[in-house]
């Protein structure tokens, strides 16, 4: 059985997103919608009884969030079913409800009643009512007080899914070089190794940020932190961004998320797209003296498999091995047989001696082993249930951990390997095991596009992650470089990672730029001094960061022969940003206008991989970013003819051309690509302002949970870790 929604009213709005949001796909709507377009792709849900607009928003009860509406006492609401099938919905007591309060649902004269009873949590109702397409479904409250109605859906028969179970497992704070998968000398991850043997492991996988919230936001949106902008302690994921759970919902999957990390909760926007988002709590097991949360997360996952229909998308966030490092004794002794329970190192204070740091490493490795054992038990249960072979499974980390490699501890503030190099393992449905781990450069943003392609979900057009199916199938690398960044607690740094080098540019608290040879010096102990290489990597980093900036983007693409492209720009505000221009290019200001001259051509570049590697001719790219509401471009005498593309439309460029943002609007991740042709090209587009970041003030409970894990908030001093 799959999930087919009740009649949705979906409109394509004028914003940059092109995929229906969760609320646009949620189940209750009038069959005939207003003809007025929505401002964003978020159509109102309309009662058939009185035309009242309804909105399903995430509502948390007993630490479980579901998209829901509150039905007041004595009210009825009617909706229409789009397709035939079996009705299911959730419900919970609202304000003033008593044990005999509840919901009566009626379809075609048949009714079913559901009382909330003594429960103060969500319940799922299966009224066993058959629904025909076009049937009116009436929900009426019973007894005193209001009742919450959550996520009503009609389950319809459907063809068997390519991947009936998709599981994304995030093991928090898991640095790659402390897993045996990545060659660690100690047996920390045998079950992760076994999963990689059934599928594929990626040895050069990176997180785009060194702490949880921006990395998980990138995992669940396939967007870079500079695009989703959830980068600081109180930032909430913007609701207009499309999440992979929303894509799974649109594909007919039930979607359930489970987390114990207080950074990944409904409060911060991470319930978006999930029919159920379960906060198992982190503070509870810390205060009760329990040693781990991994088994609790996987137990909840198995309970979900018992209660929810397939196809199912599961996101499981395991907080181990995040500090405080408190592994079960039997787990740590499988890595360090002589470990003593009273060893120090549950946390590392700034002035802690090196013996405490070494003990913390032992505890950390023990937590990795424990999380790995819980993972193995879960995968074993999937095999027992006959779900493993057809499942699509990914296991990865959100960031790593520092143990004084650079004088500090924990994570979040630097971009060295120990903080952003993470494991990534995938097993696809009925996948033939890869011959060996893959050493191409990949990002955790690539995980869900890969699973989506394997499951047959459409890929959203604006994502920055890429499917790795071709690479898994023996193809070459999908990218030549990655970026990472941090904007946390006064730290500000960006990095560019290539196949063999990394450039780290730190702007705060101290300014520095360093290049490291990742092949000869994987621990990044000695900066590589090569001014020409550093300059080239800096230009590449600047160029990649510039493509995400708001404003006008003018990209000159070279033709097969070198030509001069010259034009004037009027109306530009401030100074241009042109990190990719070469010394023989120029931008000068004359009488208020910018005079631009670019020598555009092509260069030979190695393409392909290993035996297929060959030299190919590719177009040079030179990009300029300008501010200003409206610009005018004027070709200059002596300029080579160009193929001129404004937004998505090719047009002549032989006279002054006025530019209006609405005519050339593109999302930052939709930058057009240069294509080699006989003539040069001038591609022009406008990147609008990104959505404003929502800042959330955590309540006292959440604030305490964050502090228990050592997280500071923007207006607070760093809490002292407890040894």
The three-state (H, E, C) secondary structure of 496-552, written as one string: EEECCEEEEEEEECCCEEEEEECCCCCCCCCCCCCHHHHHHHHHHHHHHHHCCCCEE
Q: Do 70 and 177 belong to one domain? A: no
Please give the tally of structural domains in the chain.
Answer: 3
Domain enclosing residue 67, as ranges: 2-156
Q: How far is CA 718 from the centre of its chain?
A: 27
Q: Which of 134, 156, 178 is the last residue of a domain?
A: 156
Cα angle 88, 90, 91 (rounded to 5 degrees) comes to 135
Rounded to whole angstroms, the Cα distance separating 604 from 602 reads: 7
Q: Residue 272: what are its φ and ψ, rounded to 5°? A: -60, 125
Please check whether residue 525 lies inside any domain of the structure: no
pLDDT at 162: 85
Q: Across the strands, what pairs with 153?
A: 5, 88
Q: How many CB atoms lie within 10 A of CB 559?
A: 22
pLDDT at 43: 28
Q: How many CB atoms lie within 10 A of CB 359?
A: 22
Q: How many CB atoms lie within 10 A of CB 23?
A: 21
Q: How far is CA 632 from the centre of its chain?
A: 37
Tell me what percent of the residues of the chain surpass a pLDDT of 70: 86
Rounded to whole angstroms, the Cα distance separating 486 from 208 reads: 9
Rounded to whole angstroms, the Cα distance separating 61 from 681 reads: 56
Query: What angle, 0 to 180 degrees and rounded to 10, lies between the N-to-C axes of helices 294-307 and 354-384?
Result: 20
State the number of CA atoms in the 13 A half-sphere of 346 facing the CB. Answer: 17
Please check whether residue 449 lies inside any domain of the structure: yes
Q: Do 91 and 179 belong to one domain? A: no
In three-state form (DSSP H/G/I as H, E/B as E, the rest C), the secondary structure along 90-147 is: EEEECCCCCCCCEEEEEECCEEEEEECCCCCCCEEECCCCEECCCCEEEEEEECCCCE
Please check whether residue 536 lies inside any domain of the structure: no
Q: What is the CATH number of the domain that holds 50?
A: 2.60.120.340
Q: Do 319 and 454 belong to one domain? A: yes
pLDDT at 17: 32
> Radius of gyration of the chain from Cα atoms?
27
Rounded to whole angstroms, the Cα distance separating 612 from 170 reads: 35
Q: Do 129 and 55 belong to one domain? A: yes
Q: Do 243 and 193 belong to one domain? A: yes
Q: Residue 346: what are its φ and ψ, rounded to 5°? A: -60, -30
71's tokens: 């039905």
Nearest to 404 by CA among 370, 359, 343: 359
pLDDT at 168: 98
Spatial neighbors of 103 by CB under 8 A, at least 6 apart, are 71, 89, 91, 113, 114, 125, 139, 140, 141, 142, 147, 149
pLDDT at 692: 63
Please check whether residue 426 lies inside any domain of the structure: yes
* Residues 208 and 219: beta-carbon distance below 8 Å: no
Please check whether residue 702 lies inside any domain of the structure: yes
649's tokens: 């439309």
Q: Do 253 and 208 belong to one domain? A: yes
Q: Residue 29: what are its φ and ψ, rounded to 5°? A: -160, 155
Tell me the pLDDT tens digit for each residue of 537-563.
988 888 788 777 788 999 999 999 999
639's tokens: 């300029």
pLDDT at 292: 62
Q: Do 184 and 270 belong to one domain? A: yes
Mapped onto helix, strand or coil, the DSSP state of residue 709 is coil
Cα angle 351, 354, 356 (rounded to 5 degrees) comes to 80
* Residues 390 and 340: beta-carbon distance below 8 Å: no
Residue 125 burial class via C-beta count within 10 angstroms: exposed 0-12, middle 13-18, buried 19 and up: buried
Q: Which of 135, 156, 177 is the last residue of a domain?
A: 156
Ordered DSSP codes for 273-328:
T-SEEEE--SHHHHHTT---SHHHHHHHHHHHHHHSPSSEEEEEEE-TTSSS----
Nearest to 42 by CA among 5, 13, 1: 13
Q: Do 375 and 439 belong to one domain? A: yes
Cis peptide before 458 (omega within 30 of 0): no
- What is the helix (H) or strand (E) element at residue 220, kind and residue range? helix 212-221
Nearest to 151 by CA among 269, 20, 256: 256
Q: What is the CATH number of the domain that holds 292?
A: 3.40.720.10
Q: Do 105 and 175 belong to one domain? A: no
Q: Do 152 and 184 belong to one domain? A: no
Tell me the pLDDT tens digit for each residue of 285-343.
455 445 568 999 999 999 999 999 899 999 999 998 998 999 999 999 999 999 999 99
Please check whether residue 496 lies inside any domain of the structure: no
pLDDT at 650: 92
For the chain, which ranges sit under pLDDT 70?
1-55, 158-159, 282-292, 579-580, 605-615, 669, 690-693, 712-723
Q: Do 248 and 296 belong to one domain? A: yes
Q: Which of 156, 175, 193 is the last residue of a domain?
A: 156
pLDDT at 7: 33
Q: Do 567 and 470 belong to one domain? A: no
* Residues 50 and 81: beta-carbon distance below 8 Å: no
Please check whether residue 514 lies inside any domain of the structure: no
Q: Are strands 276-279 and 254-259 parallel, antiparallel or unpaired?
A: parallel
Please check whether residue 608 lies inside any domain of the structure: yes
Rounded to whole angstroms, the Cα distance separating 624 from 325 reads: 48
Nearest to 392 by CA among 181, 244, 264, 562: 244
612's tokens: 């297929």
Mapped onto helix, strand or coil, the DSSP state of residue 249 is helix
Rounded to whole angstroms, the Cα distance separating 146 from 101 reads: 8
Mapped onto helix, strand or coil, the DSSP state of residue 700 is helix
Q: How many CB atoms lie within 10 A of CB 167?
A: 23
Rounded to whole angstroms, the Cα distance separating 375 from 169 reads: 9
């Amino acid at each position: 059985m799959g999930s087919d929604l009740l009649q949705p009213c979906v409109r394509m709005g004028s914003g940059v997103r092109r995929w229906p949001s969760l609320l646009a796909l949620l189940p209750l709507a009038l069959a005939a919608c207003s003809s007025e377009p929505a401002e964003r792709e978020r159509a109102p849900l309309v009662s058939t009884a009185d035309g009242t607009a309804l909105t399903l928003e995430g509502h948390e009860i007993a630490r479980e969030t579901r998209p829901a509406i509150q039905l007041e006492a004595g009210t009825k609401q009617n909706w229409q079913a789009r397709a035939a099938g079996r009705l299911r919905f959730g419900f919970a007591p609202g304000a003033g409800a008593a044990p005999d309060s509840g919901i009566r649902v009626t379809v075609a004269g048949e009714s079913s009643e559901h009382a909330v009873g003594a429960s103060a949590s969500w319940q799922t109702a299966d009224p066993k009512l058959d629904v025909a397409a076009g049937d009116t479904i009436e929900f009426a409250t019973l007894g005193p007080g209001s009742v919450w109605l959550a996520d009503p859906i009609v389950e319809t028969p459907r063809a068997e899914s390519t991947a009936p179970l998709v599981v994304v497992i995030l093991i928090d704070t898991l640095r790659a070089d402390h897993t045996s998968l990545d060659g660690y000398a100690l047996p920390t991850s045998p079950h992760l190794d076994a999963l990689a043997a059934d599928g594929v492991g990626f040895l050069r996988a990176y997180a785009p940020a060194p702490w949880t919230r921006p990395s998980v936001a990138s995992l669940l949106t396939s967007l870079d932190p500079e695009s989703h902008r959830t980068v600081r302690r109180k930032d909430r994921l913007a609701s207009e961004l499309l999440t992979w759970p929303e894509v799974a919902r649109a594909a007919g999957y039930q979607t359930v998320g489970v987390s114990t990390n207080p950074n990944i909760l409904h409060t911060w926007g991470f319930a978006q797209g999930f029919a159920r988002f379960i906060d198992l709590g982190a503070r509870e097991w810390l205060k009760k003296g329990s040693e781990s949360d991994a088994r609790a997360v996987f137990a909840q996952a198995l309970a979900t498999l018992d209660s929810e229909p397939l196809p199912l998308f599961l996101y499981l966030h395991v907080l181990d091995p995040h500090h405080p490092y408190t592994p079960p004794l039997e787990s740590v002794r499988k890595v360090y047989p002589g470990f003593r329970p009273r060893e120090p190192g549950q946390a590392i204070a700034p002035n802690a001696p090196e013996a405490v740091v070494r003990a913390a490493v032992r505890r950390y490795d023990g937590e990795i082993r424990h999380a790995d054992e819980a993972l193995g038990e879960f995968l074993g249960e999937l095999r027992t249930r006959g779900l493993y072979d057809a499942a699509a499974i990914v296991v990865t980390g959100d960031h790593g951990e520092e143990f004084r490699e650079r004088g500090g501890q924990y994570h979040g503030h630097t971009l060295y390997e120990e903080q952003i190099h993470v494991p990534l393992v995938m097993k696809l449905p009925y996948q033939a095991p890869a011959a060996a781990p893959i050493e191409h450069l990949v990002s955790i943003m690539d995980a869900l596009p890969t699973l989506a392609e394997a499951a047959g979900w459409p890929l959203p057009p604006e994502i920055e992650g890429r499917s790795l199916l071709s690479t898994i199938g023996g193809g070459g690398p999908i990218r030549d470089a990655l970026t990472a960044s941090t904007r946390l607690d006064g730290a500000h740094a960006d990095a560019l990672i290539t196949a063999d080098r990394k450039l780290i540019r730190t702007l705060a608290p101290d300014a520095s730029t360093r290049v490291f040879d990742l092949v000869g010096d994987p621990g990044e102990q000695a900066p590589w001094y090569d001014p020409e290489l550093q300059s080239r990597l800096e230009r590449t980093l600047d160029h990649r960061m510039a493509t995400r900036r708001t404003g006008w983007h003018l990209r000159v693409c070279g033709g097969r022969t070198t030509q001069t492209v010259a034009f004037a720009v009027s109306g530009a505000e401030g100074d241009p940003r042109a990190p990719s221009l070469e010394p023989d290019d120029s931008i000068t200001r004359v009488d208020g206008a910018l005079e631009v001259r670019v020598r555009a051509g092509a260069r030979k570049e190695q393409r392909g991989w290993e035996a297929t590697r060959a030299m190919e001719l590719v177009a040079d790219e030179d990009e300029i970013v300008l501010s200003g509401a409206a610009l005018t471009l004027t070709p200059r005498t002596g300029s080579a003819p160009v193929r001129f593309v404004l937004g998505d439309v090719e047009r002549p460029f032989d006279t002054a051309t006025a530019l209006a943002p609405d005519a050339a609007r593109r999302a930052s991740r939709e930058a057009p690509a240069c294509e080699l042709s006989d003539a040069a090209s001038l591609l022009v587009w406008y990147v609008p302002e990104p959505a404003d970041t929502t800042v959330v003030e955590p309540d006292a409970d959440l604030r305490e949970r964050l502090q228990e894990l050592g997280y500071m908030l923007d207006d607070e001093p760093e809490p002292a870790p407890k040894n």
